[in-house]
Homo-oligomer: A and B are copies of this chain.
Amino acid sequence: MSLRYALLAILRVGPLSGYDLQKQFSQSVGHVWHAPDSQIYPELRKMEAAGLVEGEEQARGERGTRRVYHVTDAGDRAYLEWMQSPLDYQRVRDPAHLRAAYLENTTPDAARAFLRAHIAEWEGELEQWEGELVRIDALGNPMLVRRLAVTPEEDRERTIAYKRFAYEGLVERARGEIAWARRGLALVDRLNP
């Protein structure tokens, strides 16, 4: 259900076509909430059916069309209500820690391969998120720029500060996972001299 509000958060800044929305999405919220276009288009239609957004068909060249969506009042209210409502936390379901708890069932080499892959995975994420932090500071993120353009001067600091805050949290998590897996590698060595 969060996808809906992630999309609203972007559309609230200004109308976008499904295609543009999807691009902005993958460059901003997409770092926190992944969704492929095959999920975004149908979701937009559902949101329209629910009265949260409205799409306007626009001509594009001779025959082409594109559908530009904007948030309705009802959509805006729904978004703000969601921001006020308690988040529903999913129950833990963590395949990496699941496997880690049973590493004695496999070979030292397989254990090492798993831990190295874990490090590689989180280093990839870390790079993305650190990149996002750099872009936030440099105002290099198109979504953020669009956002700040319609934000009153006195609220800009807030906007930037919360973005930084969110990504800092992700960066710390990635570092934590990497450090943990490195300790795991040392543990495998210690247990298999």
Give A residues with C-beta under 8 Å from B: 2, 5-6, 9, 12, 29, 31-34, 79-80, 83-84, 86-107, 110, 113-114, 117-118, 121, 125, 155, 157-159, 161-163, 165-170, 172-173, 176-177, 180, 183-184, 187, 191
User: What's the minimum C-beta distance from A118 to chain B, rounded to whole angstroms?
Assistant: 8
Question: How many copies of this chain does one complex carry?
Answer: 2
A169 — which chain B residues lie within 8 A by C-beta? Answer: 97, 100, 177, 180
In the complex the two chains form, what is the Cα distance from A117 to B86 in whole Å?
A: 8
Q: Which residue of B lies closest to A167 (CB)?
A: B101
In the complex the two chains form, what is the Cα distance from A61 to B158 in whole Å?
A: 67
User: What's the minimum C-beta distance from A60 to chain B, rounded to whole angstroms?
Assistant: 30
Indicate if the CB atoms of B106 and A84 lie closer than 8 Å.
yes
User: What's the minimum C-beta distance from A106 to chain B, rounded to whole angstroms?
Assistant: 4
Indicate if the CB atoms of B176 and A105 lie closer than 8 Å.
no
A180 and B155 contact, Cβ closer than 8 Å, known pairs A87-B95, A92-B32, A105-B80? no
A106 and B121 contact, Cβ closer than 8 Å, known pairs A101-B29, A161-B191, A183-B165? no
Do most interface residues of chain A lie in helix, strand or loop, or is the interface mixed?
helix
User: What's the minimum C-beta distance from A127 to chain B, rounded to whole angstroms?
Assistant: 13
Indicate if the CB atoms of A104 and B2 lie closer than 8 Å.
no
In the complex the two chains form, what is the Cα distance from A172 to B179 in whole Å?
A: 10
Indicate if the CB atoms of A2 and B95 lie closer than 8 Å.
yes
A158 — which chain B residues lie within 8 A by C-beta? Answer: 104, 191
User: What's the minimum C-beta distance from A101 to chain B, rounded to whole angstroms?
Assistant: 4
Indicate if the CB atoms of A83 and B105 lie closer than 8 Å.
yes
A184 — which chain B residues lie within 8 A by C-beta? Answer: 165
